[in-house]
Amino acid sequence: MRVAFYAPLKPPASLTPSGDRLIARLLMAGLESSGNQVHLASRFRSYDRHGDARRQARIKLIGERIADRLIRRYRAMSAVKNPQLWFTYHLFFKAPDWIGPRVSQALGIPYVVAEASFAPKQVDGPWAIGTQAVVETLAMADLAIGMSVGDAECVRPLLSSPDLYAELRPFIDVEPFAAAHQKRETHRRALSQRLGLDMDDTWLLTVAMMRHGDKVESYQILGRALESMMIASWRLLVVGSGPATADVETALSGCGSRVLWLGECEHDRLPAIYAACDAFLWPAVKETPGMCFLEAQAAGIPVVGGRAGGVPSVVSDGETGFLTAPANATDFRAATARLIDDNNLRRLMGRAAARRMTEKHTVVVAGHALNQMLGNLVA
């Protein structure tokens, strides 16, 4: 199948790291893993940060012009090279798709969107243009693929049929993390030497952006949970940066020198850090599945996360880690204490986590699932 791929929020070729860029790349890899030919149709970014109606109107005009150029280009190509399906990733009111629907209708090919969302409050708000575009795009979509728990409730009613909604299990490229897990002791010794960590301590890990709002709240819950456990021998490694760094430092100040700040790390360095640690912690206030939970488990370490949003879809409570009451520092502390106190439990859960990721959350598994969803759309 020949697939034209587009990500209006952030193109997969962007030089700026982000979860959106990573997921776009993973979706392309998943499609390709099942033998599809995938090309990036456009790098145009339709994002409007500030709710500027004039800017949105200009973005719409540019997008439509790009679509018309693509239509002319595709029509000039041989039929055996034209896309058979259009695939858009991440559609929402701040970054609508002005290209894909226009091209799909002109060429008569199916239009598929993954991770679409609809915000009813924005219908008459500053992003009204983008919100209406989302409504119209979903109405003509041949399939909407959900990747976040909670999206279905708002998206399904906007489709021409509720049967045109399917869910895709979250996934990552498991291989780098699985490989790091096999060299755990090597990575642990190297990190111990670099950071001056005691090999006998329990190393806890958090990987998260430092943004105001839900992220800071998660850090605050983490701080309250850990600062009441100062008797145990543990260290917390924090990977992340962002505009709320000062607030995060305040949130964890009660843990004192137990915290090691690693700052922002290149993604290819993360597998070794995950694998060297003993457990991953993140309260996950209003979190989508969170790539960090998948990455930690793929690296063979158990996790503790809040039972909210998409986290339960990627963490098997009592098997690969623990799910705690949402935004509850006391419950989070109790689950963390169980892992700190029981080295054997950590090992058992870590092995179960690595096995589960390999069986259910790989690029290849996702590719097979995508092919099953898309196969009936293309004659």
Task: List 116's β-bridge partners, or say none.
Answer: 91
37/275 Cα distance (integer angstroms): 34
Does 244 share its domain with 119? no
Tokens of 117: 């969302």
Q: Given this model, what pLDDT does residue 288 score?
A: 75
Do both 203 and 318 map to the same domain?
Answer: yes
* Whether 289 contacts 170, CB under 8 Å: yes
- Its sign, for the CA torsion 143, 172, 281, 216, is negative
Same domain assignment for residues 19 and 161: yes
CATH of the domain at 69: 3.40.50.2000
Contact between 174 and 362 under an 8 Å Cβ cutoff? The reply is yes
Q: Encoding tokens for residue 251?
A: 């949130």
Instruction: Identify whether residues 153 and 301 lie together within a single domain.
Output: no
Are residues 165 and 80 both part of a single domain? yes
- pLDDT score recorded for residue 17: 76
pLDDT of residue 255: 96
Q: From CA 300, how far away is CA 177, in angstroms rounded?
A: 8
User: Does residue 152 share a domain with residue 295?
Assistant: no
Domain limits at 327? 175-360
Per-residue model confidence (pLDDT) at position 231: 85
In terms of domains, do 41 and 139 share one?
yes
> Taken in order 236, 218, 333, 361, is the CA torsion positive or negative?
negative
pLDDT, position 309: 83
The token pair at 359 is 């069986």
> Interior CA angle at 314 toward 191 and 13, to 5°?
70
Q: What's the CA gap between 303 and 315, in Å, rounded?
A: 8
Are residues 191 and 319 both part of a single domain?
yes
Helix ranges, 183-328 (H)? 184-195, 214-226, 245-251, 270-276, 291-298
Q: How far is CA 156 from the centre of its chain?
A: 21
What are the backbone dihedrals phi and psi of residue 290, each rounded to the nearest 5 degrees, phi first? 80, 110
Statement to judge: residues 120 and 52 lie in one domain:
yes
pLDDT mean for each 10 residues of the chain (379 residues): 96 85 95 96 96 95 98 92 96 96 97 92 90 96 89 92 95 97 97 96 96 96 94 94 96 96 93 98 86 96 93 94 96 97 97 97 97 89
pTM of the model: 0.89
Residue 138 sits in the same domain as residue 250: no
Burial per residue of 271-298, b for 16 or more beta-carbon CB atoms within 10 angstroms, e otherwise: bbbbbbbbbbbbbbbebbbbbbbbbbbb
Whole-number Å distance between alpha carbons of 303 and 319:
10
263 and 136 assigned to the same domain: no
Q: At what angle do helices 175-182 and 343-360 cross, to 10 degrees?
A: 150
Q: Indicate if the alpha-carbon torsion angle 45, 49, 54, 60 is positive or negative.
A: positive
The Cα-based distances of 28 to 40, 44, 137, 166, 297 in angstroms read: 9, 17, 21, 18, 23
| Residues 205, 280 contacting (CB under 8 angstroms) | yes
Provide the pLDDT for residue 123: 85
What is the phi/psi pair of residue 274, to 5°? -55, -50
* Burial of residue 222 (number of CB atoms within 10 Å: 0-12, 13-18, 19+): buried
DSSP secondary structure letters along 21-78? HHHHHHHHHHHHHTT-EEEE--------SS--HHHHHHHHHHHHHHHHHHHHHHHHS-
Which among 84, 103, 108 has a CA at the least distance from the CA of 44? 103
pLDDT number for residue 379: 66
Beta bridge partners of 239: 207, 263
- Which residues lie across from 37 on neighbouring strands? 2
pLDDT of residue 148: 78
b/e code 127-142 from CB counts within 10 Å (16+ = b) = bebbbebbeebbeebb
Number of domains in the chain: 2
Strand ranges across the sheet with 143-146? 37-40, 2-6, 85-91, 111-116, 143-146, 165-167
Closest CA to 291 of 18, 95, 87, 47: 18
Considering the domain architecture, whether residues 147 and 66 belong to the same structural domain is answered as: yes
